[in-house]
Structure 1
Amino acid sequence: MMKRLFLVVAGLALAACGNGSSRAPASGGERDTGLVAFETVRSVLQHPRCQNCHPAGDAPLQGDDSHVHLQNVQRGPEGRGVVGAECTTCHGPANPPSAYGAHIPPGNVKGWHMPSPDMKLVFVGVPPRALCEQIKDPARNGGKDMAALRTHLDDPLVVWGWEPGFGRAPVPVPREQFLSAWETWARAGAPCPSDG
């Protein structure tokens, strides 16, 4: 009887310490490894190839310097631009060849778009801890758990960041290194850095 009571209490204690998953909390070393991995993840998400479509405002950013998009482009009601100026009006299904020259709008088979206005998922200027918490929060990330977020990393618009076309700097962290860092961070329980 005492052994059974001990097992029930121990199980409840483990459940209370969990982070919403069935996984036990990360050890100190695993947490530290996860935090180092998150820094790689953060550096990619806050690179212009990612953050230009994840601004705080309703105008996308563009270029390696993340300036406000020219032509008064706006997010629109679904994140796909406004009537008559949808993102796909200029951004076609593929990157044009380099023969087209610089400053030609890049394309993507998925169809260019930003997050919707009710779930902006802002990357620009967000401190690391807040970015980490936002990414993991289904109420602020489009309803995605960690598995769905990992699947999202294979979305053609995300993958585009490593092959952005003529005249654009790709994400400097190799994609496989980024994915490895993401998975290391996730395995460690997706710890968030402190504010300091």
Structure 2
Amino acid sequence: MAMRFAAIAIASVLATAGTYVVMGSLQGNAETSAGGALKAVADFDVITDTSARSKAIFEEASRVLTHPRCINCHPATRSPTQGEDKHPHVPLMIASNSSTGPLGLACSTCHGAENRSIVGSRMKSIPGNAHWQLAPASMAWQGLTVSEICQQVKDTSRNGNRSHEALIKHMGEDHLVGWAWHPGDGRTAPPGSQETFAALIAAWVKTGAGCPD
């Protein structure tokens, strides 16, 4: 039965793409980086009030957190979204209590360890990563304000029980987080780089982890 579901899922993806998959990795950067560069931590030194500086730093970091590459895997429901417009995943996926897909149709059915190119289609590639999965339900960000996301990110009951130090490490070193800047053809990457993003998160923590109003 699982094999049958897998075949249906792959057929649906390819039908949407209107073509065939070329086996082999696609490690290149995305078509464009959305919104240009992230500001560096030093750019916020002009804000003398520490609390205000902390809030401003998170606002800048939120340009990554609210980008489709992140939001699509942090959906409001247990159904991931796709594309720049955050449309429903095709085929429709409902992860229920799992982060790796429903029973018999795991994310790895279509998403491999690397991006896979597709020839002659507007879809251009199927994203992939060795740790491909949906964020836990407690980390649903889609539809929240930047302030609400900020509160959620630093709440250990909703961020995977991560301390501030663990949060910095996760943002800066996690391979799946890093995928966002190398999402394959047909997708924009968030602004900046994982290193710059992690530096902002570290500076935000150092200045008190303040959340925008």
| 1:142-161 mapped onto 2 (5 Å cutoff) | 142-153=160-171, 154-161=173-180
Residue matched to 1:169 = 188
Query: Aligned letter for 1:189?
Result: G
TM-aligned CA deviation for residue 31 of structure 1: 1.6
Residue matched to 2:59 = 39
Contact 1:49–1:171 (8 Å) recurs in 2: yes
In structure 2, the CA distance between the partners of 1:141 and 1:41, relative to structure 1 (3 Å rule), is same
Task: Indicate yes or no: 2:85 matched with 1:75.
Answer: no
| 1:109-148 mapped onto 2 (5 Å cutoff) | 109-110=130-131, 112-117=132-137, 119=138, 121-148=139-166
Describe the SS at the equivalent of 2:94: coil
Aligned residues between the structures: 165
In structure 2, the CA distance between the partners of 1:88 and 1:76, relative to structure 1 (3 Å rule), is farther
Can you give the 5+ residue segments of structure 1 that lack an aligned partner in the other structure? 1-26
User: Rg bigger for which structure?
Assistant: 1
Q: Deviations over 1:76-134 (max 9, x none)?
A: 33211012211110000001247585423211022x111234x2x12212112211111
Q: Structure 1 vs Structure 2: percent identity of aligned residues?
A: 36
Q: CA RMSD in A?
A: 1.9
Residue matched to 2:206 = 187
Can you give the 5+ residue segments of structure 2 that lack an aligned partner in the other structure? 1-46
| 1:81-96 mapped onto 2 (5 Å cutoff) | 81-96=101-116
Structure 1 runs of 4+ aligned residues shifted over 4 Å read: 97-102
TM-aligned CA deviation for residue 189 of structure 1: 1.0
Query: Aligned letter for 1:161?
Result: A
Describe the SS at the equivalent of 1:81: coil
Q: Give the TM-score of the pair, scaled to structure 2.
A: 0.72
In structure 2, the CA distance between the partners of 1:101 and 1:108, relative to structure 1 (3 Å rule), is farther
Q: Give the TM-score of the pair, scaled to structure 1.
A: 0.77
Contact 1:91–1:106 (8 Å) recurs in 2: yes
Within the candidate set 99, 106, 115, 2:127 is matched to 106
Query: Aligned letter for 1:180?
Result: A
More relative contact order, 1 or 2 (CA 8 Å, 6+ apart): 2
